[in-house]
Amino acid sequence: ETEEFLAAFQARIDAEEKIEPTDPMPQGYRRTLIRQIGQHAHSEIVGMLPEGNWITRAPSLKRILALLAKVQDEGGHGLYLYSAAETLGVTREQMTEELHAGKAKYSSIFNYPALSWADMGAIGWLVDGAAIMNQVALCRCSYGPYARAMIRVCAEESFHQRQGYEIMLTLCNGTKEQKEMAQDALNRFWWPALMMFGPHDGDSAHSEQSMKWKIKRFSNDALREKFINATVPQAEFLGLTVPDPDLEWNEEKGGYEHGDINWDEFWRVVKGDGVMNRERVQMRKDAWDNGAWVREAALAHAQKRAAKIAA
Ligand code: 3HC
């Protein structure tokens, strides 16, 4: 790629133009979008598993309906994002094979087990809350299909976050045991939720270039701080304690100082050695194999219809 080509492309980005699938783009721009959108799609699909486990165990019909709707939404977000990635030339099969082979990343948060009903509250409140922070910014991503996918995703994500928070509120206004369940879920999901935003800016391999290309509008730490500043008051309203003894409001900064994130844990989980990594990938492989007959039937049906129309 010539300097002129790269400069002309950067000028389009700087002018806030949306890049569309058939536009000429640097290979690096294409590659990092395939990487990020593919991982994002995998995160949505794998993210269905912890919650899917609790649909039949939810405490009421109302909770079953809300959780079912949320898990279905996540599946839809995944399909949206796989389609956005396909506009860049990667195939669904390639991305699926990579996930099943353990070669594709997805958000580390989904490698933590969902041990109690309160986890459904903590996941909706914290995980979807963190995802919203990140995804609202992605609505302004320079790549058109990705930005447009995010607008629909964010609309549904806010319902996910609210239903999670409402579960936590109900538990915290319930019995002593229920409030303890909510505190236990916050203890187990707080730090992994902070890790969703990625490494510190200084350790982030892609941030600088991704921000130059306006794929990333805010740095990992900026979004993480925004999430902490919005979420700590919510925990206080619930009467729960954020499991970080170093958490402290800094008036001058207008934000919270927080304790060190355990990056050894982060990289261990990202590299595949978290509590649930193997089980999550295995469940995706089983779902793919068990669903083969559905794909074959849908293809046969589509071919029959096409033949009928052509006749
Ligand atoms: N889990 C797994 N891998 C992570 C990670 C995490 N929490 N955070 C960072 N990484 C990986 C990156 O993918 C990258 O690895 P790679 O080079 O092999 O791809 C490496 O760590 C270095 O991180 P960088 O900060 O340099 O990488 P990015 O610039 O890509 O930033 C990101 C990471 C902020 C997660 C960015 O990729 C992003 O915004 N992705 C889109 C949003 C997304 O995927 N969110 C995940 C959750 S989706 C979700 O929760 C759905 C909701 O409905 C529940």
ipTM: 0.98
**pLDDT computed for residue 195 by the predictor:** 98
What is the chain's length? 311
Q: Which atom of ligand 1 has the smallest separation from the CA of 36?
A: 37
What spacing in Å lies between the alpha carbon of 218 and ligand 1's midpoint? 13
CA angle 213–270–32, rounded 5-degree value? 20
- The residue-averaged pLDDT of 73-79 equals 97
Q: What is the pLDDT of residues 122-161, one digit of tens each?
A: 999 999 999 999 999 999 999 999 999 999 899 899 999 9
Q: Whose CA is nearest to atom 30 of ligand 1?
A: 36
Residue 12 phi, psi (nearest 5): -65, -40
Q: Whose CA is nearest to atom 25 of ligand 1?
A: 204
Q: What is the pLDDT of residues 210-224, one digit of tens each?
A: 999 999 999 999 999
**pLDDT computed for residue 176 by the predictor:** 98
Q: What is the pLDDT of residues 180-229, one digit of tens each?
A: 999 999 999 999 999 999 999 999 999 999 999 999 999 999 999 999 99
* Single-letter amino acid code for the residue at 70: K
Burial class (CB in 10 A: 0-12, 13-18, 19+), 61: exposed
Q: What is the pLDDT of residues 266-291, one digit of tens each?
A: 999 999 999 999 999 999 999 999 99
- The residue-averaged pLDDT of 100-123 equals 97
What spacing in Å lies between the alpha carbon of 178 and ligand 1's midpoint? 33
Q: Whose CA is nearest to atom 5 of ligand 1?
A: 198
Alpha carbon distance 256, 238 (integer Å): 18
Is the model's pLDDT at 311 over the cut of 90?
no
CA distances from 202 to 52, 198, 206, 220, 221 (A): 36, 11, 10, 10, 9
Ligand 1 pocket, 35 CB below 6 A?
yes
Alpha carbon distance 238, 216 (integer Å): 32
Q: Whose CA is nearest to atom 41 of ligand 1?
A: 40
Q: Which of 171, 300, 190, 180 shows the shortest CA–CA distance to 245?
A: 190
Q: Whose CA is nearest to atom 9 of ligand 1?
A: 198
Ligand 1 pocket, 43 CB below 6 A?
yes
Ligand 1 pocket, 195 CB below 6 A?
yes
Would you state the structure tokens that stand for residue 124, as one six-digit string? 């909706």
Q: Whose CA is nearest to atom 8 of ligand 1?
A: 198
What spacing in Å lies between the alpha carbon of 7 and ligand 1's midpoint? 27
Q: Whose CA is nearest to atom 50 of ligand 1?
A: 131
Ligand 1 pocket, 131 CB below 6 A?
yes
Q: Which atom of ligand 1 has the smallest separation from the CA of 206?
A: 26
Ligand 1 pocket, 127 CB below 6 A?
yes
What spacing in Å lies between the alpha carbon of 199 and ligand 1's midpoint? 9
Is the model's pLDDT at 13 over the cut of 90?
yes
Is the model's pLDDT at 113 over the cut of 90?
yes
According to DSSP, the β-strands at 248-250 and 255-257 are antiparallel
For ligand 1, mutation pick of 29, 35, 43 (most atoms within 8 Å of CB): 43
- The residue-averaged pLDDT of 44-65 equals 97
Is the model's pLDDT at 99 over the cut of 90?
yes
- Tell me the pLDDT of the chain averaged across its residues: 97
What spacing in Å lies between the alpha carbon of 36 and ligand 1's midpoint? 7
CA angle 65–160–274, rounded 5-degree value? 105
Alpha carbon distance 62, 68 (integer Å): 10
- The residue-averaged pLDDT of 289-304 equals 96
For ligand 1, mutation pick of 49, 105, 136 (most atoms within 8 Å of CB): 105
Is the model's pLDDT at 67 over the cut of 90?
yes
Q: What share of the chain in percent tops pLDDT 90?
A: 99
